[in-house]
Structure 1
Amino acid sequence: MGRLAVILSLMLCAAPVAAQEFATLKGHGGPIMGIAVAPSGQVATGSFDNSVGLWDGGMPRWLEGHAAAVTALTWGPEGTLVSGGDDFAVRVWGEAPRVLGQHQGKVAALAVSPNGRTVASGSWDGSIVLWSLDGDEGTALPAPGAGVNAVAYDGADTLYAATMAGALLRYDLGTDDAPVALVQHGFGINRLALGPGWIAYGAVDGGTRVIDLQTGAPIADLTLDRRPILAMSYNAPSHQLAVGDGEGYIMIVDTESWQITRDFRATRQGPVWALAFSPDGTVIHAGGLDDAAYSWPVEALDVFEPGIDGARSFLRAAETMPNGERQFMRKCSICHALTAGPSRKAGPTLHGVFGRRAGTVPGYSYSDTLDGSDITWNEATIDALFDQGPDHYIPGSKMPMQVIAGGSDRADLIDYLKQATKGE
């Protein structure tokens, strides 16, 4: 009875904390790819639906402008929000939102300098560019030698970068010298977290390690049998490091002792793509396959069940549906709804698509290519779209590259769409 009483007591103590601080940030139309928390505590989320959400409590304000998924977010010390995405653009938000610059590949990483004047962006095109928030043109750093997954400032004159080739690099921003390699991991490094005198990195193979910034000597090896590492967040006031992985776990580490204090299964299926602490470190915000971000009180993580469901339509077992529906679920469902009315998905609804001119769904922001297009969607044009791929059939559109090579698969998809998208 004594043990049961202790367990019940712990549950009762934790329940008010959980009830007060657990939150779900709902409203996006696609998976959550990035989260950043302002010094004020305001949460920003970036999604596959091409938008940034700013959250005041549970109510979002949508920032629209990206033409593809928003994959990177960061706040400056003065509350300036910067985003990057699969449209290769770096955007700054505020009273006069604007594009700071453009890469030639996905923008995977952003960091604002401590003085708030410069943004560093890292891209899969193999470049790192420093952009002035005053509007001057960007300055490219010496080539890192591979696509860039993460960047982190250490003061005004030092920048760290992680590459797809497994290098952890240090740039001296006061010179034009090539970067110094601190680590050659052997597998791509996805994430970095910088602390006082140390830097942590997480890699494709699950490697999670911490090294001394001065000597490069290892401080801690936090590697578990989970891969890849997809998210990291460090909170200085609480001395906590959070690590998210492809198997849906959030690991919390005490950076004073380098002990794992919590290991929380955050998702029922799928990865943890994004993590960010509240300013005081009492809450961890996370995103994954769901169209919502989740906020858990760190002290009560042990009492929660997984919150991120991860049950996406494109993950349904093939044997549970006909081939035409399966093609839709795999190729189309993450971006397009089948029902009438507005949707926060990345693409326009397909309701009533047959016989409709391209670029004409009210309220949807089309690319210049489709806005005013003379294409009418029918069996022949939809077949051509998936036979050639959007990048060839409609060059310049926002549609991601999707090709269905088999003619019978395309025919099954078209038959399914004819039934599923019937207008009233």
Structure 2
Amino acid sequence: MRLAAVALSLILAPLLAAGGASAEMRGHGGPVRALAVAPAGDVAVSGSFDSRAIVWDLEREAAAQVLRLHDDAVNAVAILPDGGIVTGGADGRIAFWRQGEADPVRVESAHAAPIAGLSVSPDGATLASAGWDGIVRLTPLPDGEARVLEGHAGQVNAVAFGPDGGLVSAGYDATLRIWGGEGEPARVIQLPTPLNALAIAPDGTIATGGADGVVRLLAADGALIAEIETQPLPIIALALSPDGTRLAAATIRGSVAIIDVAARDVLFTLVGPGLPVWSAAFARDGETLYTGGGDAMVRAWDARTGEPSSGPILEAAEDPLARFAGSRGAEVFRACAACHTLSASEGERAGPTLAGIFGRRIGTAQGYDYSPALVAMDIVWTPQTVAALFEHGPTAYTPGSKMPEQRILAAEDRRALVDFLAEATR
């Protein structure tokens, strides 16, 4: 599965609790990649690897609307000042929605690769999008000719507007870029690690995090203010409280450091079931933090104390791989478990069930909506073809499929995986 800027591949799942905080809310059929809370605090939006976005009524703690358009994961969401919603997908498209309407009011083919981040300017006039095609795109609102900002060498993983309307982007090339006006060169700040996440405080302080687990705070001009060590784990999401005093830094292993921005120090660390946390957002009052992770739920936390807002931490869903404890192949498969089940009784998730996979022609599992490119391929799944898929990666081996890029470089791990699948999918 995808990881925004580290050379790992995973992805996760749902969903969202409500304003003051209580039980989790479920609804997605695949990993949740993005989360945004409206300034009024009554609505939230989540985006998922299941290619859908869900609008949540936080007062009722219920789904108010499901948005369907994208052909691939919804990696980024944003809420406009007028209450409109924007979704950005791995299909490179941006869709604009009005709450309560089933179809988008506008769709733009914005990027030639997955969109990883969205940000709305303070005046509500411009949408910035970060793409894995190496560009930042500025889309006028409500309409107009877009402008493209080039310079990153590789994936752009995050983008954010500052309080003065200035734009900052962060990329896999380990650079932070502070963009000037049209025709002006960007100020480039080289950092020591690939960057995954970005947030800007009301006073203009820039926070960024990446593969080395360090949160770096910079002034609006790019001058380094502080380096704050969280854990030696890749940071994959950042969220600032509305007043900019607290910063949440979420990691690939599920811990979330709550940082006092003024003190430049970690106050405490939220610890869940140990699965990645891909998205985080503060409530309007800054007292509740929502986190979406790989345990198929979003938890609400008291951002002042670090305690779960709904009482004791709920147990994670039963581990479907528990009966394979000690199997190296099962551990390799964990990266796939968010999207694929092993038995027909479990049904499908973001991807088709793998039950009976060996001997099955590609694109033929009943009930799953495959991409046309996959259906047209002449591949039968065998231990050899499955191993080849992960040796070369989906982009090369099954081009045009919805499967995110993932390779297993070690031959012994590929052998362990196919041996495991032969046993577990009979």
Query: Smaller-chain TM-score range?
Result: 0.7 to 0.9
SS at match of 1:103: coil
| Distance 1:118-1:271 versus aligned 2 partners, 3 A rule | same
Q: Which has the higher helix share?
A: 1
| Distance 1:109-1:382 versus aligned 2 partners, 3 A rule | same
2:249 — aligned with what?
243
58, 79, 84: which one aligns with 1:80: 84
* Separation in 1, partners of 2:405, 2:218: 40
SS at match of 1:222: strand
* Separation in 1, partners of 2:274, 2:169: 30
Aligned-residue offset at 1:245:
2.6
2:129 — aligned with what?
121
* Separation in 1, partners of 2:406, 2:238: 31
2:259 is equivalent to residue 258 of structure 1:
no
Comparing 263-272 with 34-43, which one deviates more in the overlay?
A: 263-272
SS at match of 1:369: helix
SS at match of 2:386: helix
2:14 — aligned with what?
none
2:213 — aligned with what?
206
The structure having more radius of gyration, on CA atoms, is 1
Amino acid in structure 1 at the alignment position of 2:45? A
1:302-321 equivalence runs, <5 A: 302=307, 309=316, 313=320, 320-321=326-327
Contact 1:33 1:72 in 2 (8 A): yes
Aligned-residue offset at 1:301:
2.4
* Separation in 1, partners of 2:356, 2:289: 42
SS at match of 2:35: strand
1:21-40 equivalence runs, <5 A: 21-40=21-40
Aligned-residue offset at 1:164:
1.8
Aligned-residue offset at 1:161:
1.0
State the identity %. 32
Contact 2:374 2:401 in 1 (8 A): yes
Cα RMSD after superposing both structures: 3.7
* Separation in 2, partners of 1:374, 1:187: 39
2:152 — aligned with what?
144
* Separation in 2, partners of 1:82, 1:295: 24
2:95 — aligned with what?
91
* Separation in 1, partners of 2:282, 2:206: 17
Gaps of 5+ in 1: 1-17, 420-424
1:11-410 equivalence runs, <5 A: 21-41=21-41, 42-56=43-57, 57-60=60-63, 61-94=65-98, 95=101, 96-97=103-104, 98-155=106-163, 157-172=165-180, 174-181=181-188, 183-195=189-201, 196-214=203-221, 216-237=222-243, 239-255=245-261, 257-258=262-263, 260=265, 262-302=267-307, 309=316, 313=320, 320-321=326-327, 329-330=333-334, 332-338=336-342, 340=344, 345-350=349-354, 358=363, 361-362=366-367, 364-370=368-374, 380-382=380-382, 385-386=385-386, 388-389=388-389, 391=395, 394-400=398-404
* Separation in 1, partners of 2:232, 2:421: 40
Amino acid in structure 1 at the alignment position of 2:61? G
Contact 1:149 1:163 in 2 (8 A): yes
Aligned-residue offset at 1:144:
2.7
Structure-2-length-normalised TM-score = 0.76
* Separation in 2, partners of 1:403, 1:260: 37
The answer to which structure, 1 or 2, has the higher relative contact order (CA under 8 A, 6+ apart) is: 2
Contact 1:201 1:209 in 2 (8 A): yes
* Separation in 2, partners of 1:275, 1:409: 34
Aligned-residue offset at 1:383:
5.4
* Aligned positions, number: 390
Gaps of 5+ in 2: 1-17
* Separation in 2, partners of 1:32, 1:213: 31
1:12 — aligned with what?
none
Contact 2:47 2:76 in 1 (8 A): yes
Contact 1:226 1:245 in 2 (8 A): no
Contact 2:255 2:274 in 1 (8 A): no
Amino acid in structure 1 at the alignment position of 2:194? G
* Separation in 2, partners of 1:92, 1:284: 26
Comparing 59-68 with 407-416, which one deviates more in the overlay?
A: 407-416
SS at match of 1:386: helix
